[in-house]
């Protein structure tokens, strides 16, 4: 992992999950970690959520929440996605997560190459930041686990789309269900294959 820009700073890592899904909100997390917490979480194996199994992600939630100075979640709803587009809904979710922090960060490390509009704090974009900064990796894990749990609950409300397995992504079974059952209110109708 990369060195912190300044070990004494209050740094918030921010990441989102669910941009490529056909179903459900996009979810962002913001996590503020001390330098010591970063070292401890790195030793526990915290890294980009996409590189971890579901079971390992689940096991890392409690240590991240315990060691974090602060953390918060933000959503870009179906309404936001359809009204703004997925990129702007993702940036909105990240801003909402940051705005829910109880501690004002001195620097926000944003995963990707897009700056968050109208953000009250200094920010730096980091391409593949979830592999370079523990703060962003921790955010990716919290966002992924929270969103996956939500989609599993929604699978009971919207049976037939295999959501518990595909987590809202466009698997073959999910696309076939859309053709036969049609979209639910939680499907992104502006996405190809959802209308």
Q: Domain range holding 58? A: 11-158
Residue 64, domain member (yes or no): yes
Residue 40, domain member (yes or no): yes
Q: What is the mean pLDDT of residues 136-154?
A: 97
**Residue 147 contacts residue 186 (beta carbons within 8 Å):** no
Residue 27, domain member (yes or no): yes
Residue 115, domain member (yes or no): yes
How does pLDDT run across 167-186, given as a tens digit for each residue? 999 999 999 999 999 999 99
Both tokens of 190, joined, read 């502006």
* Domain count within the chain: 1
How does pLDDT run across 61-114, given as a tens digit for each residue? 999 999 999 999 999 999 999 999 999 999 999 999 999 999 999 999 999 999
Residue 29 is part of a domain; what is its CATH number?
3.30.420.10
Residue 126, domain member (yes or no): yes
**Residue 183 contacts residue 195 (beta carbons within 8 Å):** yes
Residue 137, domain member (yes or no): yes
How does pLDDT run across 23-41, given as a tens digit for each residue? 999 999 999 999 999 999 9
Residue 174, domain member (yes or no): no
């Amino acid at each position: 992992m990369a060195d912190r820009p300044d070990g004494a700073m209050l740094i918030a890592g921010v990441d989102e999950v669910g941009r490529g899904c056909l179903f459900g909100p996009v979810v962002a997390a913001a996590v503020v970690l001390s330098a010591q917490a970063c070292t401890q979480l790195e030793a526990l194996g915290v890294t980009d959520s996409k590189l971890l199994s579901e079971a390992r992600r689940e096991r890392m939630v409690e240590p991240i929440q315990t060691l974090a100075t602060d953390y918060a979640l933000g959503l870009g709803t179906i309404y936001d996605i359809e009204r703004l587009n997925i990129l702007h809904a993702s940036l909105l979710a990240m801003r909402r997560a940051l705005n829910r922090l109880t501690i004002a960060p001195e620097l926000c490390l944003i995963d990707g190459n897009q700056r968050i509009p109208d953000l009250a704090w200094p920010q730096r974009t980091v391409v593949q930041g979830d592999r370079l900064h523990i703060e962003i990796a921790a955010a990716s894990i919290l966002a992924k686990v929270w969103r996956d749990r939500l989609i599993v609950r929604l699978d009971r409300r919207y049976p037939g789309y295999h959501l518990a397995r595909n987590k809202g992504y466009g698997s073959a079974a999910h696309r076939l269900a859309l053709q036969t059952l049609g979209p639910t209110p939680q499907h992104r109708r502006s996405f190809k294959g959802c209308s």
